Amino acid sequence: MANTVLIGAQWGDEGKGKIIDVMTEKVDWVVRYQGGNNAGHTVEIGTEKYVLHLVPSGILHDEKRCVIGHGVVVDPMALVEELEGVTQRGISIAGRFFISDRAHLVMPYHRTIDEYREKKASSGNTIGTTKRGIGPAYGDKASRTGLRMGDLLDPEFPDLLRKRVEINNKILTALGAKPVDAEEILSTYQRAADYLKPFIADTIPLLNQAVRAGEPILFEGAQGTMLDIDYGTYPFVTSSSATAGGACTGSGVPPHRIDRVIGVVKAYSTRVGEGPFPTELTDAMGERIRTAGAEFGATTGRPRRCGWFDAVVARYSAMINGIDVWAITKLDVLDELETIRIGVAYEVDGQRVDQVPANVRVLEKCQPIYEEMPGWGCSTRETKSFDSLPANAQAYILRLTELTGVPVEILSFGPARESTLVLESPVG
């Protein structure tokens, strides 16, 4: 398989982890390039269920090499815990797992600042973050006041850390939070450094060597297009580049070496946290989808907001990510519905809108214009080919491809590896 970027084309939780796991078979490397442990990627293999936050989902395949690129922000304690978790379950990581020395560190004060900013925000201004310190860590990176993975191994780390703690304690105090203790952080981070040292590397030459050797790479996006810092529903977004472009800036692999982009979408929509969501269902139908799809956050356990498929969002995602094919997940969740709706455009102040407006206050006012399609009323869980899908399910999928201008290559109708169809040639 060519070098492929796989991204979430909605608001995250599209089922990226599952599709990455399926596609890993075809590559040599899997690379995370942005986000942090705000992500929760679920992979189900037989009776085993893994939820990965920082470690690329490819780690579950023994022979594959996995990289945390420099675009990721890493909470070292969370990473150690996650690595211990996977190794205790019999997965060996030695020699095939690498962390960029340029990746920024999430520090304890980032987590507290994240929590207190949310607590202090006036009504309507909370973002509903995962409280993992992601925003403040990327903030420090952009402000050029961050600490990086490589710094952990530098003899000057204690001094660098003490200086950062001194400044951040002023911020914490102003927010009404307790100051942190530099020496305590030092001893915890030193333990993490000892554990992580063998894995910290300059991953840029490593990946470029792989490119030159023709070893295919799969880039694992976290979050989703509508949570991207630039393209999402700002300010109700995360703080990184969750779109396909982020794969280059977050890994050091140049743009002309990327061959394909796979966009993952659910057959409906979900969102966790605050912010506009035009096709949201706040009624019994929303509850029905939440229950059928087990829509509860993999990182925070929060109930996910549910709604119909939004073709305006999917078209926008296709455009800015250059999506070549769709992976459509969770088709089975719609199995029992009598009718299914698709948001095809918005209406705001009596005007039809076909693009995602930049202004979040305008987007809040957008009313979806729906098309309705009949459901199929039977299980898709055992699907073996596109043609064997119920006619109404085929029609629904084909309509999504028509509305977005992108064909479908992968269909998913259950959490397990086996409940996936990778079509030999894309349909639509």
Binding site for Mg ion (CB under 5 A): 13, 40, 298
The CB-based long-range contact list for 347-356 (8 Å cut-off, 24+ gap) reads 353/312, 354/312, 354/315, 355/312, 355/316, 356/226, 356/312, 356/313, 356/316
DSSP one-letter code for 238: -
Query: Of these partners, ligand IMO, ligand GDP, Mg ion, none, which one is at the site of residue 413 (CB under 5 to 8 Å by kind)?
Result: ligand GDP
| Shorter beta-carbon distance to ligand GDP: residue 50 or 189 | 50
- Decide if residue 223 touches ligand IMO (CB under 6 A): yes
Question: Quick check: is 228 catalytic?
Answer: no
Residue ranges in 38-77 that form contacts with ligand IMO under rule CB under 6 A: 38-41
Query: Of these partners, ligand GDP, ligand IMO, Mg ion, none, which one is at the site of residue 329 (CB under 5 to 8 Å by kind)?
Result: ligand GDP
Using CA atoms, how far apart are residues 192 and 105, in angstroms rounded to an integer?
A: 12
Using CA atoms, how far apart are residues 236 and 229, in angstroms rounded to an integer?
A: 9
Using CA atoms, how far apart are residues 368 and 375, in angstroms rounded to an integer?
A: 20
Residue ranges in 3-42 that form contacts with ligand IMO under rule CB under 6 A: 8, 12-13, 38-41
Minimum distance between the CB of residue 368 and ligand IMO, rounded to whole angstroms? 20
Question: Quick check: is 41 catalytic?
Answer: yes
Minimum distance between the CB of residue 48 and ligand IMO, rounded to whole angstroms? 19
Name the catalytic one among 21, 41, 104, 140: 41
List of residues contacting ligand GDP (CB under 6 A): 8, 12-18, 40-42, 44, 293, 298, 329-330, 332-333, 412-415, 419
Tokens linked to 189:
């981070």
| Shorter beta-carbon distance to Mg ion: residue 255 or 303 | 303
Closest CA to 373 of 337, 412, 414, 329: 337
| Shorter beta-carbon distance to ligand GDP: residue 71 or 414 | 414
Using CA atoms, how far apart are residues 45 and 21, in angstroms rounded to an integer?
A: 9
Is the bond preceding residue 235 a cis peptide, omega within 30 degrees?
yes
Using CA atoms, how far apart are residues 101 and 74, in angstroms rounded to an integer?
A: 11
Residues that bind ligand IMO (CB under 6 A): 8, 12-13, 38-41, 127-130, 132, 134-135, 222-224, 227, 238-239, 272-273, 298
Active site residues: 13, 41
